[in-house]
Amino acid sequence: MERVVDPTQVHVMRHGQVENPGGVLYGRLPGFGLSDLGRQMADRMAEHWRDVPLTHLRCSPLQRAQETLAPTARLHPHLEITTDDRVIEADNRFEGKVFGGSNKALRDPRMFWHMRNPLLPSWGEPYKEVAERMHAAIRDAAVAAGPGGQALVVSHQLPIWIARSAAEGRPLAHDPRRRRCTLCSVTSFTVRDGVITAVDYAEPVADLLPAVRGRRFKVGT
């Protein structure tokens, strides 16, 4: 009789709100940690994960992700944190620029060449490469968590959305305003024998999310 391997759950959580009064597209820039609200979100998520039998922790190397995971990690001191560059924010040519209400960065002639192909996208890391590295990290997290285990990975909005889109067989090119991946949301991947078989989504801190003040186009977030 063929042995049935229990599926593993890999929960990929987005970081909390970042302290960014200047409205910089911070991307992979150092020095962008959580705001007071972001720390509140992280603490609330620690309570969310308190009684979940996590068996593996993994995190982006960026400060905001590490700070988001920290309260949960303190409740699971028996688990070491694996820092994984594959779940980092996507590379972006607009990194460090300020868009503002008029999307000033998009009107800079020096950046026109980078906007030539939004399907790739030409302004940064190709979506296909983001999907490949995220899925590889998710599979490795599932192996580390073990059959029937539960891994928690802290990452960023664009990589999480691309990983989900690829797993669900949807086009990777998209309108950034339509991503369903709010702050501290959890996108859970069911992994069996190295294959993602299901995806679920939850917003445990929906009541803490700041109100959206209009919608502006942003190149990668």
- CATH number of the domain within which 172 lies: 3.40.50.1240
- Alpha-carbon distance of 155 to 161, in angstroms, equals 10
Domain for residue 90, yes or no? yes
Domain for residue 169, yes or no? yes
What is the total count of domains within the chain?
A: 1
- Alpha-carbon distance of 30 to 98, in angstroms, equals 16
**H runs (alpha helix) in 51-114:** 63-75
Alpha-carbon separation of residue 214 from 76, 123, 196, 197, 219 (angstroms): 39, 24, 35, 36, 16
Does 95 or 105 have the greater pLDDT score?
95
Bridge partners (DSSP) of residue 65 are none
Mean pLDDT of the residues in the chain: 90
Domain for residue 141, yes or no? yes
> Measured at the alpha carbon of residue 185, what is the angle toward residues 188 and 161, in degrees to the nearest 5?
65
The two structure tokens encoding residue 119: 């399907």
Residue-level pLDDT at 12? 99
Per-residue confidence at 147, pLDDT binned at 50, 70, 90?
very high
Residue-level pLDDT at 117? 73
Is 50 exceeded by the pLDDT of residue 175?
Answer: yes
Q: Is 147 exposed, middle or buried (0-12, 13-18, 19+ CB in 10 A)?
A: middle
Residue-level pLDDT at 5? 72
Domain for residue 220, yes or no? no
Domain for residue 216, yes or no? no
Alpha-carbon separation of residue 66 from 63, 70, 215 (angstroms): 5, 6, 28
Query: 2-52 pLDDT, tens per residue?
Result: 566 799 999 999 999 999 998 899 999 999 999 999 999 999 999 999 999
Domain for residue 2, yes or no? no
- Alpha-carbon distance of 27 to 207, in angstroms, equals 26
Domain for residue 172, yes or no? yes
- Alpha-carbon distance of 175 to 109, in angstroms, equals 22
Q: How many residues are recorded in the chain?
A: 221
Domain for residue 215, yes or no? no
Domain extent at residue 158: 8-208
